Structure 1
Amino acid sequence: MKVLIVGGAARLGPHVIRALEGEHTLRVTDIVPVETQHEFQQVDIASPAEVHGAAEGIDAIVNCSVEREGRRRAAFDVNSRGCYNMMRAAVSHGISRVINTGPHFTIQGNTYTTFDYEINPDVPPHPSTNPYALSKGVGQEICKVFTENHDVHVLTYLFYEFRDHNNPTLRGDHPFAISWRDAAEAIRLGLEVDLATLPSRCEAFNIHADLPHQRFSNEKNKRLLGFTPQDRLEAMWQRR
């Protein structure tokens, strides 16, 4: 499969490249140069023409691009308009599989996390209210609308905190954490899953380790993607 990775220089991008490069042909893009052995194109995701050109001849798109800072225009250019450009390109080129990424509060904002437990990714979207969350929430809604009107599937992967599985000094107790390698493995599995087995053309997944907090649920990943995290990140929550 020929896979377009958007945001190859983003935090998750290099880990995804490493997980996919043995099985897929990769085209890596970012707004900044990326040192890679794979085909690279310098692309601004806010540019419809550049995204359309990058998607030519592609079988699947993985969107790792992100704008986390509080700059409203940049946030909406990358996180919202970028999704629109990506989905237009997917439809134009007949690409049936897109993996989009974002923080869990794209869907599960403070109105959920303040009160609830075992929060699953299929709850009605209630993003948090900062520019990052709102712009990602708009991007997710754009993806959903495209799936309702075109023959394209979007798997939305929700993340929050990433950890290095090799770091023995992990501390903290965030209930939505995962190792970098597990996050990338989930994306690899998302490229392999039979799209006909998914309940709809737009599905969201909580991508986090099996943590004891039970604030969120990752059961759907195991059931639909066959994804069970290998790293439990015990050092985050076990006293030594």
Structure 2
Amino acid sequence: MKVLLAGGSGRVATLVIPFLKKQHELRVYDRNPPVDQSLEFLQGELTDPVGLEKAVEGMDALIYLAMGSEDWDTWQGVDSAYDVNVKGLHFLMRSAQAAGIQQAVYCSSMSVYADLRKRYFQDEEIPPDETALYGFTKWLGEEICRNAWRRWGMHTNALRLCHPTLKEKWLSETQQGVTTIATTDEDVASAMLAALELKAGFQAFMISGDYAQKIMCMTKAERMLGWTPKARPAT
């Protein structure tokens, strides 16, 4: 499958590309070149319709991995959050459907919820409720994806990710009996690969390295994606 990675030069993309490229032909669209220089790369902005039109040409599916400025306490950070998590996403989905793309994966975040570590998430039907900028705009991004299904019939799977981390780092930091939500690069990539195949309208999934499911129940991901986190702490 030919897959467009929007924001494909960022931190999360860099973690998962080694796994994704084993199964799919990748094209990166970003303002900066990717670490893996063997990949096809188109430079551009997510809010540029002309650049997006070129980016989606000939693609079968897309994964939206873009991450804006993390300086969320400034007006520049606010502007970036809306450009990347809302406006740019809508522009890309519109360009994709015009090009005939009917499959998308949106890298959302469990940050769509407030007080993440203070409650148990029994399923994905709990309404997002974050009011802080990052989580709120990621939540708005999910609604853009939901609307893409309703308006254009584009199958879109939103993956609510939790701290994607190199497997080596995860293993060095995770202890038996201590709850973690961080997720290894390999587990994140396997969720993306499964989500590229699922055609079920709009769906949201909790994706976490919480293998004991102490904070969140990931039954839906197991049932619909065939996915569970594989990483376990060293004994």
TM band (smaller chain): 0.7 to 0.9
What is the DSSP-based 3-state SS (H/G/I as helix, E as strand, rest coil) of the residue aligned with 1:53? helix
Q: 2:173 aligns with which of 170, 175, 183?
A: 170
How many angstroms apart in 1 are the aligned matches of 2:132 and 2:224? 31
Contact 1:4 1:58 in 2 (8 A): yes
- Residue 84 (1) aligns with residue 84 (2): no
The residue aligned with 1:161 is 163
Q: Contact 1:175/1:213 (CA < 8 Å) preserved in 2?
A: no
Point out the more displaced range, 35-44 or 72-81: 35-44
Question: What displacement does 1:229 show?
Answer: 1.8
For normalisation by structure 1, the TM-score amounts to 0.86
CA–CA separation in structure 2 for the residues paired with 1:164 and 1:37: 21
Q: Secondary structure at the match of 1:158?
A: strand
Amino acid at match of 2:133: P
The answer to whether 1:149 aligns with 2:147 is no
Work out the CA distance in 2 between the residues paired with 1:213 and 1:157. 17
Please give the secondary structure, in 1, of the residue aligned with 2:173.
Answer: coil
- CA distance in structure 1 between the partners assigned to 2:24 and 2:94 by the alignment: 23
Q: Percent identity?
A: 28
CA–CA distance in structure 2, aligned partners of residues 7 and 47 of structure 1:
13
Deviations 1:92-117 (A, max 9, x none): 011110000122122x233xx47531
Between the aligned partners of 1:212 and 1:146, the Cα distance in structure 2 is: 34
Letter in 2 for 1:146: A
In 1, Cα distance between equivalents of 2:151 and 2:38: 37
Structure 2 Cα separation of the partners of residues 13 and 159 of structure 1: 13
Q: For 1:101-136, what per-residue CA distance to the aligned partner results, in whole angstroms no more than 9, with x for missing partners? A: 122122x233xx47531332222232x222211221
Cα drift, residue 155 of structure 1: 0.3
Matched, 1:109 2:114: yes
Distance, in Å, in 2 between the alignment partners of 1:116 and 1:18 is 34
Kept in 2: contact 1:176–1:208 (CA 8 A)? yes
Contact 1:87 1:146 in 2 (8 A): yes
- State the distance in 1 between where 2:165 and 2:110 align: 16
Q: Give TM-score scaled by structure 2 length.
A: 0.88
CA displacement at 1:29 relative to structure 2: 1.4
CA contact (8 A) 2:117 2:215 kept: no
| Mapping 1:27-106, distance limit 5 Å | 27-35=27-35, 36-67=37-68, 68-70=70-72, 71-106=77-112
Q: Distance in 2 between matches of 1:185 and 1:7?
A: 19
Secondary structure in structure 2 of the residue aligned to 1:109: coil
In structure 1, C-alpha distance between the alignment counterparts of 2:28 and 2:165, rounded to whole Å? 23
Does the CA contact (< 8 Å) of 1:9 and 1:34 recur in 2? Answer: yes
Contact 2:16 2:189 (8 Å CA) reproduced = yes
**CA RMSD, aligned part only?**
2.0
Q: CA deviation at 1:209?
A: 2.0
- Which amino acid in the other structure matches residue 207 of structure 1? I
Q: Structure 2 regions of 5+ residues with no counterpart?
A: none
Tell me, yes or no, if the aligned pair for 2:180 and 2:210 is still in contact at 8 Å: no
- Deviation of 1:13 (Å): 0.6
**What is the CA–CA distance in structure 2 between the aligned matches of 1:115 and 1:19, rounded to whole Å?**
33
- The AA in structure 1 aligned to 2:204 is A
Give the equivalent residue in structure 1 for 2:225.
225
